[in-house]
Amino acid sequence: MRRLLRVLLLLVLVAVLALGAGSAYLIRRPFPQISGTATVAGLKAPVEVIRDRWGIPHIYAQNPHDLFFAQGYVHAQDRLWQMDLSRRLAAGRLSEIFGPVALEADRLMRVLGLRRAAEAAWAAAASAAGAPEAAAAIEAVQAYSAGVNAFIESRRDRLPLEFLLLRFQPEPWTPVDSLSFGKLMAWVLGGTWRTELLRAGLAIRFGDEGMRTLFPTQVPGTPTITAGGIPSIALPPGLPFASLLAGSPGAGSNNWVVAPSRSTSGALLANDIHLDVQMPSIWYENHLVGGPYDVIGASFPGVPSVVAGHNRHIAWGLTNVNPDVQDLYVERFHPRDPDRYFYQGQWVRATVVREEIRIKGRPEPEVVVVRVTRHGPVLNPAVRGLGAFMALRWTAHDPDRILQAVLALDRAANWAEFREALREWSVPSQNFVFADRTGNIGFIAPGRIPIRPPGVDGRLPVPGWTGTFEWQGYIPHEELPTLFNPPGGVIVTANNRVAPPSYPYHLGEDFDVGFRALRITSRLEETARLSLDDFAAIQQDVTSLPARRFVAAWQDVRIDDADRAALFNEVKQWDGQVTAESRPALLYEVLLLRLAHVVFKDALDQDLFRRYLRQGDAPLLVLLEMSGRPDDPWWGEGRDRVIEQALRQTVRELEAALGDDRSAWRWGRIHTPTLLHPLGRQRGLGWIFNAVPPEMGGDGFTVNAAGFDPEEPYRTAVAPSYRQLIDTKDWSSARAIHPTGQSGLPFSRHYRDFVAMWAKGDYHPLLFTRDAILAAQEGTLRLLPP
């Protein structure tokens, strides 16, 4: 079927191109109207959309309904295909357009029930519509959906190219579609259940002590965000009471803020969010002005609001906390009745959901029977090799009001309102940093984080039938970690450990090991008074602290072969700068991956090794610790001989990939950040849909993150998906960038125009004042009610 789909796509493309001048019309007809007027049913009053030269829309409306209606309309103008793809992914409906190739992903989404969870959240929101904040959120998402649908209906005959090639029409947008995206992001940014399985596999093979040895969680000397102990939970004097805001290998993010005492201006904020790089970008920048809103920054196509950015009063950024909000429960099902499971001495009937997956090219749907216990859906129909029936308990399955939280955040004017806005934040838990016009800085580690029984830490799957491992509520939002105006005037987060051992609640163990946080902190300490230019330089930093530690530990390694010894000496003399031009960086990165294979592959079965290698931090930390112990039993025949074996494989691999001319060997030649579109994976279509940035440096442990999947070395998989730098004293100096361009329409001038800028570390200005926006306008569209 995949070959047939490929042939059909190519035939359609050839037919389009064969039309000559007509092909230009077919390519350009989905382009949005950006100037003049358009009459749009559903508006209450005129709306003005000014697009600046970078394709960023600045939306001016007279009321919140029209503001979010217009945001939905504009999102659909530029990213309708991406929006449709995202809701299909969350709902498990990709097979309807792609065929059997997407069936595995659909099956997982149907079992997880992200769409079911979004429907439950929408029902809960509707039942609470009497509260003003809930009513505002409901109105916003309904207006947004109406705006998307108004655009769809006006462009049925001029849809994006992907709809033409795959031959389907988008369905009407609904509020549940928007809420589903939040559930999808929670899934992307969480994954502790996978770590539970990995730990269990290691414990079965090596015992509990061996598992802990192979799974270190932090490097001594790396920072904890609230390292000085958890500050007082009470708000600063004079402020009213408010409460707290509650994947892929190498994924992570950075953010930091400095107070005016440490800056050349006001309070400064930096944020770079590390996610899978893709085409088009996951982010869409926009400016929303209307009613109580005047906010600019990054949004998700498909969701009303701005997620990271600033308004007239405050700025904020976010990184993933990754607390342990997922637990696996081993369930016992009745031997003769698969719909009943055992719990506290009784057979209890599970909720049974029959999911039908329609598959393009097949006459009959695939039926997936999902059983949901008191702990959550049983994963076995979608996850192979579990060895027992396992149900997933996950906070994202519970109804939430996260959209209400984000919209209140967009309106917040100070620290108290910022905290209060995020009272309803649930999952994915985020490290929020805050800065305001008056010079305050702050940090909140948010989320709905479970409290487990004493002695239960959530590291391993637990029996579901005893009732002794049930969650006992959630950490009160008043007691979640927070900082406000710390004495040093600096707050740094980089997915590292949030709280010290003295913190009274267990947040989890799957935090970043802390190398990026340590590097950022040390760079900030180099300069007494910091500027946004200093922040920009830090965001581009490609110094690998683990590389420097490996180099130090390898100084006494002796390689017998003279040729390989000469190459290894380059690594031993290297400064740890993972630049695209560096040959030592290339040797180090490939050697480290080969070394992991040599040391661990034979000791673990194929599946366990694959999952261990993808975990990223653990094997690197174990190898780093072992490198200082030449006779560690894991080395087998000895450290130096194993390193030489891995080095021999490294040279062989590089000669095959880059040729015998070693003067041309450099990290950037194999470390390529191709930005892939789903259709761009089809041979012959990449030139239309994909983008290839210039060579880039970095790895999964540098501040300028560029992690790669070890199963697909060494293509960049994770990178800064959005960068922003903000000076709260001067909004006009704010700057931002994401990897691709504002448009999701191939051949648009804004489809790839950010790629080279992003790769080089450049930014575009984040225009905020109307005069500056008008001076840089590309077009102004007036949307008028009938």
Structure confidence by residue, pLDDT tens digits, 462-493 = 999 999 999 999 999 999 999 999 999 999 99
Lowest mean pLDDT among 17-31, 261-275, 422-436, 574-588: 17-31
**Cα 553 from chain centroid?**
33
Q: What is the mean pLDDT of residues 497-503?
A: 94
- Amino acid 234: pLDDT: 27
In whole angstroms, what is the distance from residue 684 CA to residue 673 CA? 19
Q: What is the pLDDT averaged over residues 159-176?
A: 96
pLDDT higher at 220 or 521: 521
Mean pLDDT value of segment 568-583:
98
| pLDDT tens digits for range 704-742 | 999 998 988 998 889 999 999 999 999 999 999 999 999
| pLDDT at 13 (0 to 100) | 53
Task: State the Cα–Cα distance between residues 622 and 635, nearest whole angstrom.
Answer: 11
What Å distances lie between residue 428 and 186, 316, 446, CA to CA?
Answer: 5, 16, 9
- The pLDDT assigned to 26 comes to 62
| Other CB atoms within 10 Å distance of the CB of residue 384 | 9
**Is 504:479 a contact under the CB 8 Å cutoff?**
yes
- Give pLDDT, residue 230: 32
Q: Which residue has the higher pLDDT, 532 or 245?
A: 532
For the stretch 334-388, pLDDT in tens is 999 999 999 999 999 999 999 999 999 999 999 999 999 999 999 999 999 998 9
Does position 170 have pLDDT exceeding 50, yes or no?
yes
Mean pLDDT of the chain: 92
Residue 616's pLDDT is: 77
Query: Considering Cα of 456, then 460, then 465, then 466, what sign does the dihedral take?
Result: negative
Q: State residue 249's pLDDT score.
A: 52
Tens digit of pLDDT for each residue in 526-572? 999 999 999 999 999 999 999 999 999 999 999 999 999 999 999 99
Average pLDDT estimate for 252-261:
96
Dihedral, 752, 757, 760, 762 alpha carbons, nearest 10? -160
Mean pLDDT for 492-503 is 95
State the pLDDT at residue 228: 45
688 class by beta-carbon count within 10 Å (0-12 exposed, 13-18 middle, 19+ buried): middle
Separation CA 704–CA 726 (nearest Å): 18
Entry field: residues in the chain: 786
Query: Angle 126-127-130 (CA atoms, 0-180°, nearest 5)?
Result: 90
Percent of the chain with pLDDT over 90: 87
**Residues linked to residue 548 through DSSP beta bridges, in sequence order:** none
* Span 581-594, pLDDT tens digits: 999 999 999 999 99
Rounded Cα–Cα distance for residues 216 and 210 (Å) = 11
Apex 25 CA angle, 22 and 30, nearest 5: 150
Residue 21 reports pLDDT greater than 70:
no
Q: What angle do CA 73, 78, 81 make, to 5 degrees?
A: 100
Q: What is the pLDDT of residue 131?
A: 83
Q: Which residues contact 254 (CB under 8 A, 6 or more apart)?
A: 270, 271, 272, 274, 319, 492, 493, 494, 516, 517, 520, 539, 703, 705
Q: Give the largest CA-CA distance in the chain.
A: 82
pLDDT at 130: 74
CA distances from 60 to 49, 65, 204, 293, 493 (A): 6, 12, 60, 10, 34
Average pLDDT rounded to a whole number, residues 400-410: 96
Q: In this predicted model, which residue has the larger pLDDT, 216 or 406?
A: 406
* The residue type at 740: T
**Average pLDDT rounded to a whole number, residues 105-119:** 98
pLDDT, average across residues 606-616 = 91
Q: Select from 496, 497, 503, 508 the least CA-distant residue to 452.
A: 508
Task: Specify whether the CB–CB gap between 723 and 281 falls below 8 A.
Answer: no
DSSP string, 399-426: ---HHHHHHHHHH--SHHHHHHHGGG--
pLDDT above 90: residue 161: yes
pLDDT higher than 50, residue 245? no
The reported pTM is 0.93
Backbone angles phi, psi at 81, to 5 degrees: -60, -45
Q: Kindly give the pairing relationship between strand 430-436 and strand 462-463.
A: unpaired
